């Protein structure tokens, strides 16, 4: 069976508020074929989100121009718990809730060249729209705490929106990891700020690439990914969860760099064995109602 993809690009994102390299910055791992059609790996460390997006546009453009199909993974949540778009009062106008949320965040969050943005103010504004109080986003540093955004977790018991997506609950129940809630904006292991700052760039890339699709939103997540499903598609963007890969840093390598290297090689190895197709499926015990939420708004993590 032929591989589904020719190149694998994995991105370890960063919500840093200033240009930064090294640990806890943006690392992009590229596993692509050389002139002899052998997969070769290299890593790039980029100091700002705008530069990272520009790099991805250029790199993916070069690969697709030569005929490659590219798998592009981001290590943050691409969706929010089901009901978020409705709670925000977003107008769907025929769009899926995930699309409305991506467009909303892209219109609100604008990274500046110095990597700064107003993500805490934007989160506070969304909290006001949802609850008129400090729910559901939380985790603001002291200087950004306001009446509608606190530093500590609000009570999710019997709340209008759940703390976790189906994907995070599944990972926790299966003891595959302890993913944080997308509502948590700061502190150890948090992913909320990465999603707030990352989704606008994913949206921009999707808009720039007509032959790109985002998995699982633009596929049937309950079915394996097949060559037929990828007809005329040159780029598939998806969420990744670095903790699923047990990559040990090499000498002088940061943990982030090791993780994108490990994930890129893992996906390529699965693809080479014809096993990547099944990894892109939510068929492991989820019911139709859950799959409906996953496709419409929440997203999923391949390989779980």
Residues 249 and 265: their CA atoms lie apart, in Å, by: 14
pLDDT of residue 298: 98
In sequence order, the β-bridge partners of residue 235 are: 70, 212
| CB of 258 closer than 8 Å to CB of 248 | yes
pLDDT of residue 183: 98
pLDDT of residue 147: 98
| Residues contacting residue 174 through CB under 8 Å, at least 6 positions apart | 304
* Residue closest to 257 by CA, chosen among 97, 46, 37, 5: 46
- Tokens at residue 154, please? 């609000």
Q: CA Rg, the chain, in Å? A: 19
pLDDT of residue 189: 85
| CB of 192 closer than 8 Å to CB of 180 | yes
pLDDT of residue 266: 96
Q: Is 170 exposed, middle or buried (0-12, 13-18, 19+ CB in 10 A)?
A: buried
| CB of 4 closer than 8 Å to CB of 227 | yes
User: What does the pLDDT profile of the chain (304 residues) look like in tens digits?
Assistant: 689 999 999 999 999 999 999 999 999 999 999 989 999 999 999 999 999 999 999 999 999 999 999 999 999 999 999 999 999 999 999 999 999 999 999 999 999 999 999 999 999 999 999 999 999 999 999 999 999 999 999 999 999 999 999 999 999 999 999 999 999 999 888 999 999 999 999 999 999 999 999 999 999 999 999 999 999 999 999 999 988 888 899 999 999 999 999 999 999 999 999 999 999 998 767 999 999 999 999 999 998 8
pLDDT of residue 95: 96
**Global confidence as pTM:** 0.97
| CB of 3 closer than 8 Å to CB of 272 | yes
């Amino acid at each position: 069976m032929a591989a589904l993809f020719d190149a694998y690009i994995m991105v370890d994102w960063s919500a840093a508020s200033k240009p930064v390299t090294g640990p806890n910055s943006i690392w992009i791992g590229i596993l692509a074929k050389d002139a002899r059609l052998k997969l070769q790996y290299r890593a790039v460390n980029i100091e700002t989100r705008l530069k990272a997006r520009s790099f991805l546009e250029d790199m993916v453009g070069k690969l697709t121009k030569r005929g490659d199909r590219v798998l592009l993974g981001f290590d943050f949540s691409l969706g929010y718990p089901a009901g978020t778009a409705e709670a925000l009062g977003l107008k769907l106008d025929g769009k899926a809730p995930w699309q409305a949320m991506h467009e909303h965040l892209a219109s609100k969050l604008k990274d500046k060249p110095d990597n700064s943005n107003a993500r805490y103010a934007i989160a506070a504004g969304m909290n006001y729209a949802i609850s008129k109080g400090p729910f559901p986003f939380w985790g603001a540093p002291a200087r950004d705490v306001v009446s509608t955004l606190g530093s500590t977790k609000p009570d999710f018991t019997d709340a209008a929106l759940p703390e976790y997506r189906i994907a995070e609950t599944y990972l926790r129940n299966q003891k595959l990891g302890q993913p944080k809630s997308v509502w948590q904006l700061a502190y150890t292991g948090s992913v909320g700020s990465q999603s707030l700052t990352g989704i606008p760039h994913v949206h921009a890339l999707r808009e720039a690439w007509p032959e790109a699709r985002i998995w699982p939103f633009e596929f049937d997540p309950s079915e394996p990914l097949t060559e037929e499903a990828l007809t005329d598609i040159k780029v598939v963007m998806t969420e990744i969860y670095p903790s699923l890969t047990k990559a040990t840093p090499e000498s002088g390598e940061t943990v982030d760099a090791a993780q994108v290297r490990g994930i890129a090689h893992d996906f390529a190895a699965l693809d080479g064995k014809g096993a990547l197709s099944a990894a892109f499926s939510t068929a492991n015990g989820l019911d139709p109602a859950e799959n409906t939420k996953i496709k419409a708004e929440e997203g999923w993590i391949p390989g779980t």
